[in-house]
Structure 1
Amino acid sequence: MKQANVTPFSSYQKSVIALLAITQFTIVLDFMVMSPLGDLLMKSLVITPSQFGLVVSSYAFSAGISGLLTAGFADKFDRKRLLLFFYIGFIIGTLFCGLAPTYEALVAARIFTGIFGGVIGSISMAIITDIFSLEQRGRVMGFVQMGFGASQVLGIPISLYLATLWGWQSPFLLIVGFSTVLALIIMQVLKPITQHLELKTERKALAHLIHTITQKHYQTAFLATALLSIGGFMMMPFGSAYAVNNLEVSQQQLPIIFMVSGISSLIVMPMIGRLSDRIEKFNLFAFASVWMVVMVLIYTNLPVVPLWVIIIFNVLMMMGIMSRMVPATTLTSAIPKMQDRGAFMSINSSLQQIAGGIASFVAGLIVVQKDNFSPLQNYDVLGIVVSVVSLSCIYMVYRVNKLAKKTAASAPKEQPV
């Protein structure tokens, strides 16, 4: 899939990229902010670490189930209306989180937020696939996935500052205000996306879901996505605890690691996106995976070292982890037919969420800690497990790459908006 000439974006396409990237920023921030707020939440609501873990995983599992339940309907509506419906639900759920007075109310609010927020990523993917040609999507994915880095650079430090001043609820209320303005802009700027509705299908919602799940070439992409998520999510829940308890990073130094990693993501992701549109996507994924495995094995076996050394290895490791996602996601987007894209992306997103929840649970079984101030044990074992899973992903994405080429060769040429 070598690309001699890079297809430029139209003015409207640039507007869509900006809207989807900022939308992704709000969704990622809502999920990511839970980890650094953990200490404040546990003290304010007087809950145990296991109860806090349920608060985090309840979002992931409800998001996964929601995606499966809505998959059958995803290709039967204007994608703009679908995006707005679920985004408004996400805003309401986040408001409930900010107003939750008890632990039980917060868990219920996170489940509600996950039901709506967990589907937005798949809707965005369907919109990207409809509006942008395959030759443009690597750059689009790079920009949209900058939301992860932006949440670390801007969202998490600001949220922690507000939480210190006005309590753990304030970051959620900030997200609500920002997201409400964004929803109004989406209403005005985004055009209806209905091209897929012209491809008539008589299948009912459940039949459409079953049809999409049972397609063998779709199943290959689903399995690849699940393995990618397992490898990516396993280390995340314990990253801060490992840095503090094993590498002796102070609580004051933690935001520095978040910010530097986030800034590096903002720089690297667009570069990877452009590179993904110019060279063989699978080769880029394979190189990034090997790079990630090497960095994971080094990082999970680090002794106590200066902060700058930790930051360098953290950045290098995150470069590998994030650089795999752009080419893999771009290749996956080439698999479904237009009339199946909404359902395919919903199922794919659901598996991503569920696999992430399972990965966090399994990681909790591997990693042990004698008390809250002791070093984590078996974190190096977790690194080995992540490395094995990541290497197995290379084979699965190789199969996705072959399917993507076959699909691109047989499908009629689509005109990007």
Structure 2
Amino acid sequence: MKQNTEKIPFSAYQKFVIFILAVTQFTVILDFMVMSPMGDLMMKALNLKTSQFGFAVSAYAFSAGVSGLLTAGFADKYDRKKLLLFFYTGFILGTIFCGLADSYELLIAARIITGLFGGVIGSVSMAIMADLFDIHHRGRVMGFIQMGFGASQVLGVPISLYIANYWGWHLPFIMVAGLAALVLVLIVVKLQPVTKHLEVKNDKNVFLHLWHTLADRNYRIGFLSTALLSIGGFMMMPFGSAFAVNNLHIPQDKLFILFMMSGVSSLVIMPLIGKFSDKVDKFILFAIASSWMAVMVVIYTNLSVTPLWLVIIFNVLMMMGIMSRMIPSSALTTSLPEMKDRGAFMSINSSLQQIAGGIAAAFAGMVVVQKTKTSPLEHYNTLGYIIVGVSVLSILMIYRVSVIVKNKLKEKVV
């Protein structure tokens, strides 16, 4: 039976929901993403080794993962708006703490606090999205929501780098917290309660609900798929700026151009891929994008001294693959859970994503070596080869997710 993929205009409120989820993602992603481009600055300012910085990045991810698992059983018991407000408020306070940290130990503590709250926001946002939009339009919605990633690179990361270069690495965190506070006000005033999932009868207590969600075989396939995707993303990211500065010889004050151009490409690519993924087989799109990304990752991680314009081209081409696989994979995995399990599924999924990413970032910090503060990074290309292997496994797992989702849709038609 042919799927109904006719483009239906979104209502004014639906557009607001898409906007508020996108801008919420923007602030959370920016808080996390800004660590990477400021990596070279922070390692020099705090006299950190690559292993220490890798742990600083993974501290957020590990705490976010633990928080998600602890809250998963409660995720379907409350109004999703209230959950979003609670965790977003904690995220803002943690980000302020990051801006006030003046030592490695305080930075680690601040990142743990921020992760405890920030790591749950993505799963709550995805649950809200899945509640309000059906699968045939989620690709389009995901395309816009994931623009928060591109916007963080177009606006947030370049501005943060500029500010950090002149006023220090602390101020960008305060800037993110200020913006997030404005978003919090919008959520309080404009977002309606999201309670439709509460109408579905569910007598399980929170621990049984968590266990039954983890015990579902189809859900576990989705969890593993997301974890593999996260491993690939987190390996390269923490040392992206250090590699660009010390290996490719991109001047620190020109680094924002590299991130800005990558972000611009993401803003263009995301909506197009979102619309395209609603018209073609999502798995095929994911497989093509993953293969393209793997090729570009190997090329990029093996570069030596390279002109800025050429680095930008390679970086944009690599981002095309990364962005083009995020949307179809997210659209498929969010279609796995039943509505009564959606909050728990999203929380566990986000937790495993963060934990896997934290392990990848910590592992990358042990693989990559920098002998002095200004010497080139060694073994960065080793990470590229590992990512290729993980990408192959990701394709196999997303294929299994795709089969489950298609069978689920056929059963509903019947």
State if a TM-score over 0.5 links the two structures.
yes
Separation (CA, whole Å) in 1 of partners of 2:270 and 2:359? 27
* Counterpart amino acid of residue 357 in structure 1: G
Separation (CA, whole Å) in 1 of partners of 2:331 and 2:286? 11
Deviation per residue, 1:306-333 (Å, 9 max, x gap): 2211111110011101110100000001
Match of 2:19 in 1: 18
Instruction: State the Cα distance separating 1:358 from its structure 2 match.
Output: 1.0
Deviation per residue, 1:163-216 (Å, 9 max, x gap): 344433221221222111111111121111111111121111111111100100
Match of 1:408 in 2: 409
Match of 1:396 in 2: 397
SS in 1 for 2:257: helix
Structure 1 residues 37 and 375: CA distance shift in structure 2, 3 A: closer
Match of 2:100 in 1: 99
| Percent identity of equivalent pairs | 62
Deviation per residue, 1:13-62 (Å, 9 max, x gap): 11100000000000011111122333444455555544333322211100
Q: Which moved more, 1:253-262 or 1:401-410?
A: 401-410
Alignment of 1:353-364 (within 5 A): 353-364=354-365
Aligned residues: 413
Instruction: State the Cα distance separating 1:412 from its structure 2 match.
Output: 8.2
Instruction: State the Cα distance separating 1:247 from its structure 2 match.
Output: 2.0
Instruction: State the Cα distance separating 1:290 from its structure 2 match.
Output: 1.0
Separation (CA, whole Å) in 1 of partners of 2:40 and 2:281? 44
Match of 1:235 in 2: 236
SS in 2 for 1:373: coil
Alignment of 1:304-343 (within 5 A): 304-343=305-344
Deviation per residue, 1:238-284 (Å, 9 max, x gap): 22222222222221221111010010001101110010111111111
Unmatched runs of 5 consecutive residues or more in structure 1 = none
Aligned: 1:274 with 2:275: yes
Separation (CA, whole Å) in 2 of partners of 1:134 and 1:212? 21
* Counterpart amino acid of residue 371 in structure 1: T
Match of 1:83 in 2: 84
Match of 2:142 in 1: 141
Instruction: State the Cα distance separating 1:223 from its structure 2 match.
Output: 0.6
8 Å CA contact retained: 2:50, 2:370 = no
8 Å CA contact retained: 2:88, 2:118 = yes
Match of 2:350 in 1: 349
Q: Which moved more, 1:354-363 or 1:33-42?
A: 33-42
Structure 1 residues 275 and 62: CA distance shift in structure 2, 3 A: same
Separation (CA, whole Å) in 1 of partners of 2:317 and 2:217? 36
Separation (CA, whole Å) in 2 of partners of 1:216 and 1:96? 40
Instruction: State the Cα distance separating 1:110 from its structure 2 match.
Output: 1.4
Structure 1 residues 162 and 229: CA distance shift in structure 2, 3 A: same
Separation (CA, whole Å) in 2 of partners of 1:409 and 1:298? 41
Instruction: State the Cα distance separating 1:364 from its structure 2 match.
Output: 2.6
8 Å CA contact retained: 1:230, 1:355 = yes
TM-score normalised by length of structure 2:
0.95
Unmatched runs of 5 consecutive residues or more in structure 2 = none
Instruction: State the Cα distance separating 1:115 from its structure 2 match.
Output: 0.5
SS in 1 for 2:390: helix
8 Å CA contact retained: 1:3, 1:277 = no
Match of 2:116 in 1: 115
Separation (CA, whole Å) in 1 of partners of 2:45 and 2:378? 28
Instruction: State the Cα distance separating 1:127 from its structure 2 match.
Output: 0.3
Instruction: State the Cα distance separating 1:219 from its structure 2 match.
Output: 0.4
SS in 2 for 1:105: helix
Aligned: 1:158 with 2:159: yes
Structure 1 residues 2 and 251: CA distance shift in structure 2, 3 A: farther
Separation (CA, whole Å) in 2 of partners of 1:37 and 1:310? 18
Q: Which moved more, 1:96-105 or 1:36-45?
A: 36-45
Q: Which moved more, 1:16-25 or 1:168-177?
A: 168-177
Match of 2:375 in 1: 374
TM-score normalised by length of structure 1:
0.94
Instruction: State the Cα distance separating 1:304 from its structure 2 match.
Output: 3.0
Aligned: 1:178 with 2:179: yes
Deviation per residue, 1:353-389 (Å, 9 max, x gap): 0111111122233333333333333222221111111
8 Å CA contact retained: 2:300, 2:315 = yes
Instruction: State the Cα distance separating 1:161 from its structure 2 match.
Output: 2.6
8 Å CA contact retained: 1:212, 1:340 = yes
